Amino acid sequence: MTYELFYWPEIQGRGEFVRLALEDAGADYRDVARTRAGFRRMMRLMARGTDTPSFAPPFLRDGKHVIGQTAAILFYLGPCLDLAPRNESKRLWVHQIQLTLADMVAEIHDTHHPLGPSLYYEDQKRPARLRSDSFLKERVPKFMGYFDRLIGRSGGPFLTGRRATYADLSLFQVVEGLRYAFPRHMGKAERTVGRVVAVRDRVSERSGLAAYLESDRRLPFSTEGIFRHYPELDKGRG
Ligand SMILES: N[C@@H](CCC(=O)N[C@@H](CS)C(=O)NCC(=O)O)C(=O)O
């Protein structure tokens, strides 16, 4: 059965967290909305046409299941793709970590849109500077320090131990996105979270992912996505 992934066609966005898991596992999947007809189907499915309509993409269809919310999709896919532990409490632990990553992703979005998605970045530049400043100074070390400690207490090399899970792939994506958005700041901030950087490096070398990252299926980061590079927001503080 081919998985169907529904996400906006021109950005990595939150769809990328799901895509990384599918690509890592070499799963058979289609990025449905990358064709015009598929895009229309995505909009129809959100409006009606399923008993479990999503508020926003990404969502995934696997046979009779239509699942929205990035963390819920990964919770479902994890065992199927061998990217989650079999043991229930360990699986819930990975889910908890993924939800914390989702919290961080929401804060990353708010660095450039602190007043909400209805206004353009250009209309909220000043609040965005204030928000980015405190995000870089306080929240990056708090989140990254937390993930770094988890790797330490698991015995490593990954977040929950010897085997990589979808949460490690998501941590990779967060580091990549932050490097794109805040290159000056991250150059310094990464020095104190060596275990997180090591997870990022290990994940990038996994065979399925390395091939994907080189392919044209991996869309570039841009100032349309969640991670945006605006030089004026990147303070270069470590
Ligand atoms: N909590 C959801 C958030 C989904 C979400 O915000 N999707 C964005 C794109 S990344 C969107 O299309 N939002 C439209 C909206 O909020 O109106 C998840 O993690 O999947």
The CA 137 to ligand 1 mean position distance, Å, reads 26
The binding-site residues of ligand 1, defined as CB within 6 angstroms of any ligand atom, are 13-14, 56-58, 69-70, 102
Instruction: Please tell me the distance between residue 58's alpha carbon and the centre of ligand 1 in angstroms.
Output: 7
Q: Is the dihedral of CA 35, 79, 193, 238 positive or negative?
A: positive
Atom of ligand 1 nearest to the CA of 73: 20
With a CB cutoff of 8 Å and minimum separation 6, the contacts of 164 are 83, 158, 202, 203, 206
pLDDT (tens digit, 0 to 9) for every residue of the chain, 238 residues total? 899 999 999 999 999 999 999 999 999 999 999 999 999 999 999 998 889 999 999 999 999 999 999 999 999 999 999 999 999 999 999 999 999 999 999 999 999 999 999 999 999 999 999 999 999 999 999 999 999 999 999 999 999 999 999 999 999 999 999 999 999 999 999 999 999 999 999 999 999 999 999 999 999 999 999 999 999 999 854 4
Mutate to test the pocket of ligand 1, among 52, 54, 55, 109 (most ligand atoms within 8 A of CB): 55
Between vectors from CA 3 to CA 26 and to CA 106, what angle results, nearest 5°? 90
Distance CA 148, CA 159 (A): 8
CB 98 within 8 A of CB 166: yes
Residue given tokens 């690509």 in the structure block: 23
How many angstroms is it from 57 CA to the middle of ligand 1? 6
Q: How far is the CA of 211 from the centre of ligand 1 (A)?
A: 27
Find the 104 Cα to ligand 1 centroid distance in Å.
14
**Residue whose structure tokens are 């066609």:** 9
Instruction: Give, to the nearest 10 degrees, the angle between helix 140-154 and helix 88-112.
Output: 160
- The number of the ligand 1 atom at minimal distance from the alpha carbon of 71 is 19
- Amino acid, res. 68: G
What is the Å distance from ligand 1's center to 220 Cα?
19
177 within 8 A of 224, measured Cβ to Cβ: no
Q: Check residue 236 and give its pLDDT.
A: 59
CA distances from 100 to 41, 96, 104, 147, 154 (A): 31, 6, 6, 10, 17
DSSP H helix total and E strand total for the chain? 10, 4
Q: Are 83 and 21 in contact (CB under 8 A)?
A: yes
Q: Which residues contact 52 (CB under 8 A, 6 or more apart)?
A: 66, 67, 68
Atom of ligand 1 nearest to the CA of 70: 20
Q: What is the pTM of this model?
A: 0.97
> What are the beta bridge partners of residue 67?
60
Q: Whose CA is nearest to atom 17 of ligand 1?
A: 56
The pLDDT score that the predictor gives to residue 235 is 82
Model pLDDT, residue 48: 87
Ligand 1 atom nearest to CA at 226: 10
- Grouping H, G, I as helix, E, B as strand and the rest as coil, residue 29 is strand
Strands across the sheet with 3-6, in order?
A: 29-31, 3-6, 59-62, 65-68
